[in-house]
């Protein structure tokens, strides 16, 4: 069924296209559907990806930028030289495919376990943290006047929102209470500089090849705010996938990340990065709780959501390690 719909769509907007083939739904992505397919063309097949809101999903989360804005951001990043897929088409009602967009497929790996362990990525791993610092610097330099309308977020706003989300779960966790108090007591105040913030820049949302970073994915939580937020979120322990002694995605150090960021002409504030790492750890814990709630109450009882929900306990340990490290 979806190949028929895709075929009708690509023939309309892709010059010379004769249809679509090899459509397959990809695993992962708890909030959006992702489909891999080929655009049939006389010059050879064009690898493509469909990203769309799942049927019956309802309204987008209030923090989501929206799929149209996400497509715009990815195309602007691509044009600015930030590793990003090229957007080929934003869906319209005539496509009969729902809400979303189609982008050119970038070959590589997103599964962190493989990136951190397979021999194919052995040469890339030592340089990834510094390289990613440069990628983030380029992302934070995207000119605001060209960007779509996005939310402006401060630390204080985020704390208020996360506390509200946490209370709504009716799932008391003393460590989360401790983290909320610490965040309020240590809020560094508004950032001197406000930039585009990706919002979910981490291992798992990056396409990695043997040569390093090939594309940044999942821009749905993009907003304006403190650029140090992206650096702190990247260092959250959950994105190290077992390599806890390498804070940047399980493959590098903070110093390497910071060096890459500053070599690209931007300044790092390590204290603010630490604050956002704590914030990010709490954020992920609350998001895990939200996934469990959606698994229990929503129409889609996916096993993935249940498994993510169980990870809330891991974030409690991570918060204690950050706020009450051994030796203090």
Per-residue pLDDT 10s for the chain (328 aa) are 899 999 999 999 999 999 999 999 987 655 689 999 999 999 999 999 999 998 754 444 567 889 999 999 999 999 999 999 999 999 999 999 999 999 999 999 999 999 999 999 999 999 999 999 999 999 999 999 999 999 999 999 999 999 999 999 988 899 999 999 999 999 999 998 999 999 999 999 999 999 999 999 999 999 999 999 999 999 999 999 999 999 999 999 999 999 999 999 999 999 999 999 999 999 999 999 887 777 677 666 677 767 777 788 899 999 999 998 776 5
According to the model, what pLDDT value does residue 29 have?
55
User: What CATH number is given to the structural domain containing 82?
Assistant: 3.30.200.20
Q: Are residues 176 and 143 in the same domain?
A: yes
Q: Are residues 222 and 95 in the same domain?
A: no
Q: Are residues 161 and 276 in the same domain?
A: yes
Q: Are residues 80 and 198 in the same domain?
A: no
Residue 60 to residue 143: CA distance in whole angstroms: 26
Domain boundary (104, 125, 145) is at 104
Sequence-distant (6+) residues with CB within 8 A of 179 are 278, 281, 282, 319, 323
Domain boundary (104, 126, 156) is at 104
Alpha helices, DSSP H, located in 170-269:
174-185, 228-234, 254-263
According to the model, what pLDDT value does residue 58 have?
46
Q: Is the dihedral of CA 146, 151, 152, 158 positive or negative?
A: negative
Residue 328 belongs to some domain of the structure: no
What interhelical angle do 174-185 and 270-297 show, nearest 10? 140
User: Which run of H or E residues covers position 122?
Assistant: none
According to the model, what pLDDT value does residue 274 have?
97
* pTM for the structure as a whole: 0.92
According to the model, what pLDDT value does residue 328 have?
55
Instruction: Tell me the residue range of the domain where 76 lies.
Output: 2-104
Residue 233 to residue 250: CA distance in whole angstroms: 13
Name the β-bridge partners of 90.
101
Using only C-alpha atoms, the chain has a radius of gyration, in whole angstroms, of 20
Sequence-distant (6+) residues with CB within 8 A of 28 are 34, 110, 304
Residue 168 to residue 306: CA distance in whole angstroms: 18
How is residue 309 written in tokens?
């929900």
How many distinct structural domains can be found in the chain?
2
| Residue 269 vs residues 65, 184, 319: alpha-carbon distances, Å | 26, 19, 21
Domain boundary (82, 104, 126) is at 104
Sequence-distant (6+) residues with CB within 8 A of 211 are 124
- Nearest-5° angle of CA 206, CA 61, CA 304? 55
Q: Is the dihedral of CA 113, 198, 51, 60 positive or negative?
A: positive
According to the model, what pLDDT value does residue 30 have?
55
Torsion of CA 112, 249, 78, 25, to 10 degrees: 20
């Amino acid at each position: 069924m979806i190949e028929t719909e895709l075929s009708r769509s690509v023939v309309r907007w892709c010059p010379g296209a004769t249809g679509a083939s090899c459509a397959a739904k990809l695993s992962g992505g708890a909030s959006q559907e992702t489909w891999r397919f080929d655009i049939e063309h006389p010059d050879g097949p064009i690898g493509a990806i469909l990203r769309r809101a799942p049927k019956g999903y309802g309204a987008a989360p209030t923090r989501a930028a929206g799929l149209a804005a996400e497509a715009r951001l990815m195309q602007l990043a691509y044009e600015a030289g930030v590793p990003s897929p090229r957007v080929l088409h934003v869906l319209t009602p005539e496509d009969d495919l729902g809400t979303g967009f189609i982008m050119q497929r970038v070959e590589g790996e997103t599964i962190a376990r493989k990136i951190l362990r397979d021999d194919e990525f052995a040469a890339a791993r030592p340089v990834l943290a510094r390289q990613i610092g440069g990628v983030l610097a380029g992302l934070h330099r995207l000119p605001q006047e060209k960007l779509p309308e996005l939310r402006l977020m401060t630390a204080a706003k985020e704390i208020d929102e996360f506390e509200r989300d946490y209370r709504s779960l009716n799932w008391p966790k003393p460590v989360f209470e401790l983290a909320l108090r610490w965040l309020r007591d240590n809020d560094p105040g508004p950032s001197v500089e406000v930039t585009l913030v990706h919002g979910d820049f981490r291992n798992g949302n990056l396409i990695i090849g043997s040569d390093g970073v090939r594309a940044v994915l999942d821009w749905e939580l993009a907003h304006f705010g403190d650029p140090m937020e992206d650096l702190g979120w990247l260092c959250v322990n959950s994105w190290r996938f077992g390599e806890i002694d390498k804070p940047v995605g399980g493959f590098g150090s903070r110093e390497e990340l910071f060096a890459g960021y500053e070599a690209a002409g931007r300044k790092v504030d390590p204290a603010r990065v630490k604050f956002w790492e704590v914030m990010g750890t709490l954020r992920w814990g609350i998001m895990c709780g939200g996934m469990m709630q959606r698994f229990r109450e929503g129409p889609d009882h996916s096993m993935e959501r249940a498994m993510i929900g169980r990870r809330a306990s891991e974030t409690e340990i991570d918060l204690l390690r950050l706020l009450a490290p051994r030796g203090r």
